[in-house]
Amino acid sequence: MIIYPAIDIRGGRAVRLVEGDFSRETQFDADPVDAARRWQDAGAAWIHIVDLDGARDGTGANRDAIARIRQAVSVDVRIEVGGGIRSDTDLEALSAIGVDRFILGSIAITDPAFTERAIATYGDAIAVGLDARDGKVATQGWLEQTDADAIEVARRYAEAGLKHVIFTDIQRDGTLQGPNLDALRALIAAVPIDVIASGGVGSLADVEAIASTGAGGVIIGSALYHGRIALTDALAVGAAANALPTSAGEAR
């Protein structure tokens, strides 16, 4: 199981939001490069980056900060980026920076044709981010609620060749109150692809619980910034997860 330490960028700074609420923001690093270097030094193989301004406004407002992160960390540390990716131009610009994986969020709901074309073009480098309240996907930086069912969206794109889906329970995100394991298990059972969990992780026990579901990865944000989890400990859980049984009782 891959551990993805998170860097959420707003106005060029590394911040965390509670339940995606832009009015409930805490700044942790004035320069997100500092966070990226910290996660690299702790042993992270991947870093998860969200352009919060891009997610809300559909612009690449923090692309310079993302480029600086890419330049600051080793090429062995891979980065995935979401927030505001709405066009081929956005994908090309992030690819030129050296981003390893692109997370399609709102566009996966509003423009399935573009999303399927991106999957066909970029293959394993595309992930679809499903940010849900009560199983229904929200878009535009979580400000717009849709009636799209997260599992049905995941099934559609899995059939189109998608390899990775990131599932966030919005009502748990940033709360440190534990992940929505039932919703996570339901999604994992529904699609034969890599499911990355996000939202609510507040302790190492939460990371272990996610590992037991057979998730391919977990994104950890607030718990790292608040010192509730040491990244080295989470990475150890992730490294051991391959030996754990999945929900189907098979070795991962």
Report the catalytic residues: 8, 131
Rounded to an integer, what distance in angstroms lies between the CA atom of residue 143 and that of residue 130?
14
The SS3 call for residue 147 is strand
| Nearest to 113, CA basis, from 63, 160, 171 | 160
Segment (H or E) for 182:
helix 181-190
HSE-CB at 186 with a 13 A cutoff on CA atoms is: 12
For residue 220, give every residue at least 6 positions away whose Cβ sits within 8 Å of its Cβ, in sequence order, or none. Answer: 3, 4, 5, 6, 201, 207, 229, 231, 234
Per the CB < 8 A criterion, the answer to whether 176 and 223 are in contact is yes
